[in-house]
Chain A
Amino acid sequence: MDLEEAEEFKERCAQCAAVSWGLTDEGKYYCTSCHNVTERYQEVTNTDLIPNTQIKALNRGLKKKTILVKKGWDWYVCEGFQYILYQQAEALKNLGVGPELKNDVLHNFWKRYLQKSKQAYCKNPVYTTGRKPTVLEDNLSHSDWASEPELLSDVSCPPFLESGAESQSDIHTRKPFPVSKASQSETSVCSGSLDGVEYSQRKEKGIVKMTVPQTLAFCYLSLLWQREAITLSDLLRFVEEDHIPYINAFQHFPEQMKLYGRDRGIFGIESWPDYEDIYKKTIEVGTFLDLPRFPDITKDCYLHPNILCMKYLMEVNLPDEMHSLTCHVVKMTGMGEVDFLTFDPIAKMAKTVKYDVQAVAIIVVVLKLLFLLDDSFEWSLSNLAEKHNEKNKKDKPWFDFRKWYQIMKKAFDEKKQKWEEARAKYLWKSEKPLYYSFVDKPVAYKKREMVVNLQKQFSTLVESTATAGKKSPSSFQFNWTEEDTDRTCFHGHSLQGVLKEKGQSLLTKNSLYWLSTQKFCRCYCTHVTTYEESNYSLSYQFILNLFSFLLRIKTSLLHEEVSLVEKKLFEKKYSVKRKKSRSKKVRRH
């Protein structure tokens, strides 16, 4: 496109003497072979400066269009985020999430956000510098969402998340903010979006500013509202595995939405989302949107600890029988209660449960109850189980902790190694390079071209088998089946070896317990405890490492959660402040 237009310029390049010209976005000629930018402007631009030259103006019609293409559309930062949300919602739909999530829930959350942050759907949007919103005045009545029942049934708003094609046309035709051409020339110097500069400087108290990680908070909120079978850690893992657009999400923007300058800071992302960060943002957004209490998390919901525990027990190849124990812990601690589990942003202390981390913590507590995990008792129990299994080959085998450890350790190490390798090979840079200014643009594009060429060259040195396509998304990372002989499946193993009968009830053979945290911080800091690895037994370390890898969280976070579960389970012990551990009765179910 550029090259065709530049054909009429026939002079030799001052630097490399080639006659191969392209046009920069400013309409200057640059040499395509050495990237030398001349001071010569393309003629059309000249006619723009001197509008009375009539003869040249004849050419204008056609060329102006191409200039518009080069300049791109006028667009606002929030539209960029809207586009990312749209893509993410699409991706979630492809992962099997119901279409209501996109059309109703996320759509409404987003509208509510625009309204709350005074960007649209309100009488005085923040963009009042010489422009007035006109398009959506009529819809204002719909955006009064104070009354609860209408919240999610509101479908009369422009459905700009409805479908790809429509949404694209929405972005430039049904823009909530009419654009004045005059301001464009000023702002476009430092950003492709109209308000990029202003946006990055804006700091308003009480308003949650949109960022790229924030889009995931929106996604998670909608998933939570819909009670979908995707936990936060799953969501983030899908992001890392590129199933959900996040890094370089901007590269799928329509061609005419140009990004540069400040947009780079707003949309360019060089890190994967962090669990705790997104978790915090979710609460922040939920509170900011002033959302009502979320639908109840009941026993039949995926996010209920009983179901999640089952899922994670299967994932890490532990016996199904342990499930009754986790259920028991859930019951004793009251962690299965609807009020405890349901997210209520308008409650005094808005907090949501880290469902996945909590479920895993419960499993860790149960493992501690059964095997003590003091680097000695679990091994002696394993010896018993091994002997028993040798003698009774026909019976249901006893669960052998040592064997489980050996198999899991190997599987975990392999998985982790592969994960690390995949991360090291991750390609961060988009096909559309982001640059600061027009001066940088040819440099940025040249760099990109260079990288692509080098990659092309080196890809010939790599065997084709090595570059396998990306794996399909799954909520399971490990797969255990009875058929696989190398990797024993422990799902059907029995816990008989670690429990003993006493009258009507079953007791754990292990009569001791140690607490992961002895004392909790009294102050109101968020620190519950610190996790100093070397203070803990090796088996405990292994189990924490295994689970925190599955959830892609820090081990300290899981340790903290384990401590919190224990705090609930041994409430009395904590209140009496006695360190002595006790045996715990496990009633027969």
Chain B
Amino acid sequence: MSDFSEELKGPVTDDEEVETSVLSGAGMHFPWLQTYVETVAIGGKRRKDFAQTTSACLSFIQEALLKHQWQQAAEYMYSYFQTLEDSDSYKRQAAPEIIWKLGSEILFYHPKSNMESFSTFADRMKNIGVMNYLKISLQHALYLLHHGMLKDAKRNLSEAETWRHGENTSSREILINLIQAYKGLLQYYTWSEKKMELSKLDKDDYAYNAVAQDVFNHSWKTSANISALIKIPGVWDPFVKSYVEMLEFYGDRDGAQEVLTNYAYDEKFPSNPNAHIYLYNFLKRQKAPRSKLISVLKILYQIVPSHKLMLEFHTLLRKSEKEEHRKLGLEVLFGVLDFAGCTKNITAWKYLAKYLKNILMGNHLAWVQEEWNSRKNWWPGFHFSYFWAKSDWKEDTALACEKAFVAGLLLGKGCRYFRYILKQDHQVLGKKIKRMKRSVKKYSIVNPRL
């Protein structure tokens, strides 16, 4: 429901209709050009006032929705319903969808609206033409879910599932799949509730068998419902997750792995970091070999270099025997700390400090320099300014120490961050700082031992 404004621009674009909105260049939109094109389309005749006022009405509704003026929006909506009777057949066909989207939005937020009125509205809109029945049913079910009415939502989905009217088109097939999958998701929900129940019961309990039987039945239905959908390219995270959970529960590891591998690696699917995360977590649970885990995370690293799993990736790489893996390990750490959201991640700094020292000790100065070259312009200001030294020390001395060590290694002992931390006389950390000072002297890349 949230992105309806985008869809309103080209209401029937997913069908064969020609898009009339004039978009030129990267996201630029000229309203005057739109009206001009429209007059050209009707042969230079003046646009009918009906068309003018209804489109004005639409923009008034949109404006009211934007400003959360539900009352005004409802007032304009009252007039906008007449587009259902538009004599322009193209607009008439597009009207139900627009009205559904705007109307449901109004009814969702309007203080005087309630569940009943929403359902009446949905039922009415479903039955205007056959084009929108499924879409509206699905959204109606989601609305019911939002209000915690699981049973009604389920009934709604079942009704929609068995609904057959008009031609079968490919877009409708996807919708039916989606409806079934949502139904499956609801069944999964009951299943996992039952599973919880089961886990609380004693095996000898007389109810155990009945519940267990129940759990089993549910899983069978659900898997049938969901599996059709997740074969179609798309982002189906919640479905995949629950489906895999059930497969795993019944010991079908190969099945689960196949689903996840397909979800992550099939090129027809859109790039989706979660697919790789699910696969990685699954493989980790299955105690898969390190090389396999590394190959999964390598892809995730390319999509989301700042993901928190990157630290795990680093430890995997660090332990690897291959030299290129160890080099990559350094790259990954630097990559994580490039992101503003990770600047205070003490683990990352700790890893980097340790790993830098290790690498420099292992005579791989070139690796470090390679990473540092692209960052030496901005990291000092980004991480190692005097301001950061002060605030880091104040907030988290341990973090400040780690950072100071890294700063010293990368920028030399003259670096302000490093000097500031050294100056701080701390009793507990005193020893550590001393050790750090020594290491910096020895290994800092600024002053290579010739």
- Which residues from A are CB-within-8-Å of B110? 461
**Are B82's CB and A451's CB within 8 A?**
yes
**Could you give, for residues 432-466 of chain A, a 1 whenever the CB lies within 8 Å of some chain B CB and a 0 otherwise?**
01000000000010011011011101111111001
Q: Say whether A174 faces chain B, with CB atoms less than 8 Å apart.
A: no
Task: Return the chain A residue nearest B117 by Cβ.
Answer: A457
B199 within 8 A of A: no
Which segment of B73-81, B152-160, B215-223, B248-256 sits at the interface?
A: B73-81
Partner of B84 from the list A425, A451, A460 (CB cut-off 8 Å) is A451
Q: How large is the interface on B (under 10, 10 to 19, 20 to 34, 35 or more residues)?
A: 35 or more
Q: Do residues B49 and A458 form an inter-chain contact, with CB atoms below 8 A?
A: no
Question: Chain A residues with Cβ under 8 A from B46's Cβ?
Answer: 271, 274
- Additional 4 contacts, C-beta under 8 A, given A455-B78, A458-B74, A462-B71: A420-B56, A425-B57, A457-B124, A458-B78
Question: B85 near A: Cβ within 8 Å?
Answer: yes
Tell me, yes or no, whether B128 is within 8 Å of chain A by CB: yes
| Contact A461-B113, Cβ < 8 Å, known A270-B50, A424-B76, A426-B53 | yes
Shortest A129–chain B CB gap in Å is: 31
A427 within 8 A of B: yes
Chain B residues whose CB sits within 8 angstroms of the CB of A453 once the complex forms: 124
Q: B50, A271: Cβ atoms under 8 Å?
A: yes
Interface residues of B in 111-138 (CB under 8 A from A): 112-113, 117, 120-121, 124, 128
Asked if B50 and A462 sit within 8 Å, CB to CB, the answer is: no
CA distance A467 to B79 in the complex (A): 12
Query: Which residues does chain B contribute within 8 Å of A423, judged by CB atoms?
Result: 49, 53, 56
Contact B112 A461 (CB under 8 A): yes
A223 to chain B, nearest CB (A): 23
Do A427 and B85 have beta carbons less than 8 Å apart?
A: no
Report the bound CA distance from A427 to B82 in whole Å.
7
How far is A312 from B44 in the complex, measured between Cα atoms in Å?
35
3 closest residue pairs by CB, A with B = A270-B50, A461-B74, A424-B57
Whether a CB of chain B sits under 8 angstroms from the CB of A429 is yes
| Cβ-based interface call for A272 (8 A) | yes
Return A84 CB to nearest CB of chain B, in Å. Answer: 18
Contacts of A524 in B (CB 8 A): none
Which listed residue, A274, A428, A447, A459, touches B78 by the CB 8 Å rule? A459
**If the complex has contacts A454-B81, A457-B121, are A271 and B48 also in contact, measured as CB distance less than 8 A?**
yes
Determine whether B106 belongs to the interface, using a CB cutoff of 8 Å to chain A.
yes
Contact residue among A451, A459, A466 (Cβ-Cβ distance under 8 Å from B85): A451
Q: Which of B293-331 contact A (CB under 8 A)?
A: none
The reply on A421 being an interface residue by CB < 8 A is yes
**Do A424 and B70 touch across chains, with their CB atoms under 8 A apart?**
no
Asked if B79 and A425 make an inter-chain contact with CB atoms under 8 angstroms apart, the answer reads yes
Q: Residue B236 at the A interface, CB < 8 A?
A: no
Asked if B60 is an interface residue, CB under 8 A from chain A, the answer is yes
**Which of B82, B107, B120, B121 is within 8 Å of A428, CB to CB?**
B82
B60 in contact with A424 (CB, 8 Å): yes
Closest B-chain residue to A271, C-beta based?
B49
Q: Which B residues are CB-close (under 8 A) to A461?
A: 70-71, 74, 106-107, 110, 112-113
Do the beta carbons of A451 and B81 come within 8 Å of each other?
yes
Which of chain B's residues has its CB closest to A265's CB?
B87
Chain B residue with the shortest CB-CB distance to A277: B46
Number of interface residues of A (CB under 8 A): 32
Known contacts A424-B76, A451-B84, A463 near B48 by CB under 8 Å:
no
- Chain A hits for B77, CB < 8 A: 458
A sample of 12 inter-chain contacts (CB < 8 A) reads A270-B49, A270-B87, A271-B50, A424-B54, A424-B56, A453-B124, A457-B121, A458-B77, A458-B78, A458-B103, A460-B117, A461-B106
Complex CA–CA separation, A423 to B55 (angstroms) = 11
The smallest C-beta distance from A414 to any residue of chain B, in angstroms, reads 16
Max chain B CB contacts within 10 Å: which of A274, A423, A424, A463? Answer: A424
Closest to B56 in A: A424
Give bound CA distance, A466 to B82, whole Å: 19
Q: Which residues of chain A are within 8 angstroms of B71 by Cβ–Cβ distance?
A: 461-463, 466
Give the chain B neighbours of A421 by CB distance below 8 A.
Answer: 60
Contact B124 A425 (CB under 8 A): no
A271-B50, A423-B53, A424-B60 in contact; A462/B124 too (CB < 8 A)?
no
Q: Which of chain A's residues have a CB closer than 8 A to the CB of B106? A: 458, 461
Q: Which of A274, A425, A466, A467 has the most CB of B within 10 A?
A: A425
Q: Are B78 and A425 in contact (CB under 8 A)?
A: yes
Alpha-carbon gap, A447 to B84, bound state (A)? 7
B301 to chain A, nearest CB (A): 52
**Which residues of A sit under 8 angstroms from B79, Cβ to Cβ?**
424-427
Q: Which of B48, B70, B81 contacts A270 (CB 8 A)?
A: B48
CA distance in complex: A460, B120 (Å): 13
A459, B75: Cα distance in complex, Å: 7
Shortest A242–chain B CB gap in Å is 14
Contact residues in B for A454 (Cβ distance below 8 Å): 81, 99, 103, 121, 124
Distance to closest chain A CB from B74 (angstroms): 4
Q: Kindly identify which residue among B54, B75, B87 contacts A466, using a CB–CB cutoff of 8 Å.
A: B75
Residues 243-283 of A contacting B (Cβ, < 8 Å): 268, 270-272, 274
Contact with A along B153-195 (1 / 0, CB 8 A): 0000000000000000000000000000000000000000000
Check B74–A455 contact: CB distance below 8 A. Answer: no
Residue of A nearest to B50 (CB): A270
Residues in B with CB closer than 8 Å to A424 are 53-54, 56-57, 60, 76, 79
Q: Which residues of A contact B54 (CB under 8 A)?
A: 424
The CA of A272 and the CA of B84, in the complex, are separated in Å by 20
**CB pair A448 B48 closer than 8 Å:** no
Instruction: List the A residue with the shortest CB-CB distance to B125.
Output: A454
- Report the minimum CB–CB distance from B369 to chain A (whole Å): 61
Q: Which residue of B lies closest to A466 (CB)?
A: B75
- Cβ–Cβ contact B81 & A455, under 8 A: yes
* Bound CA span A428–B85, Å: 10
Chain B residues closer than 8 Å to A268, beta-carbon distance: 87
The minimal Cβ–Cβ distance linking B438 to chain A, given in whole angstroms, is 75
Q: With a 10 A CB-CB cut-off, give which of B57, B70, B85, B106 has the most chain A CB atoms.
A: B85
Query: Which residue, of B49, B70, B84, has the highest number of chain A Cβ atoms within 10 A?
Result: B49
